[in-house]
Amino acid sequence: MTPMARSFYAESKRVSNARLHGELGVNLRYRDYRAGLEALARAEGRL
Protein backbone atom coordinates (compact mmCIF):
# COMPACT_ATOMS: atom_id res chain seq x y z
CA MET A 1 0.00 0.00 0.00
CA THR A 2 1.06 3.54 -0.58
CA PRO A 3 1.93 5.76 2.39
CA MET A 4 -1.25 7.75 1.75
CA ALA A 5 -3.41 4.61 1.85
CA ARG A 6 -1.72 3.47 5.10
CA SER A 7 -2.37 6.89 6.60
CA PHE A 8 -6.04 6.71 5.61
CA TYR A 9 -6.58 3.28 7.16
CA ALA A 10 -4.64 4.16 10.33
CA GLU A 11 -7.35 6.64 11.34
CA SER A 12 -10.44 5.55 13.27
CA LYS A 13 -13.38 5.00 10.93
CA ARG A 14 -16.01 3.20 13.02
CA VAL A 15 -19.32 2.70 11.26
CA SER A 16 -22.24 0.28 11.50
CA ASN A 17 -23.36 -1.90 8.62
CA ALA A 18 -26.78 -2.58 10.20
CA ARG A 19 -28.70 -0.40 7.74
CA LEU A 20 -26.87 -1.89 4.78
CA HIS A 21 -27.80 -5.39 5.97
CA GLY A 22 -31.33 -4.56 7.11
CA GLU A 23 -32.61 -2.39 4.26
CA LEU A 24 -30.67 -3.73 1.31
CA GLY A 25 -29.94 -7.29 2.41
CA VAL A 26 -26.27 -6.91 1.50
CA ASN A 27 -23.81 -9.40 2.99
CA LEU A 28 -20.25 -8.15 3.01
CA ARG A 29 -17.36 -10.48 2.24
CA TYR A 30 -15.31 -9.29 5.25
CA ARG A 31 -16.58 -8.41 8.73
CA ASP A 32 -14.55 -5.18 8.83
CA TYR A 33 -11.93 -3.28 6.89
CA ARG A 34 -9.07 -4.89 8.82
CA ALA A 35 -10.15 -8.37 7.69
CA GLY A 36 -10.39 -7.08 4.11
CA LEU A 37 -6.93 -5.53 4.28
CA GLU A 38 -5.49 -8.73 5.73
CA ALA A 39 -7.02 -10.75 2.87
CA LEU A 40 -5.57 -8.27 0.38
CA ALA A 41 -2.12 -8.52 1.96
CA ARG A 42 -2.30 -12.33 1.90
CA ALA A 43 -3.33 -12.29 -1.77
CA GLU A 44 -0.32 -10.09 -2.55
CA GLY A 45 1.96 -12.47 -0.66
CA ARG A 46 2.82 -9.96 2.07
CA LEU A 47 1.62 -12.12 4.98
* Tens of pLDDT, residues 11-47: 877 778 888 889 999 888 998 889 999 999 999 998 7
- Domain contains 47: yes
CA distance 4 to 2: 5
Are 41 and 47 a contacting pair, CB within 8 Å? yes
- The closest alpha carbon to 37, from 17, 16, 8, belongs to 8
- Domain contains 34: yes
This prediction's pTM: 0.50
CA distance 11 to 39: 19
| Burial per residue of 20-47, b for 16 or more beta-carbon CB atoms within 10 angstroms, e otherwise | eeeeeeeeeeeeeeeeeeeeeeeeeeee
pLDDT at 17: 81
- Domain contains 29: yes
- Domain contains 23: yes
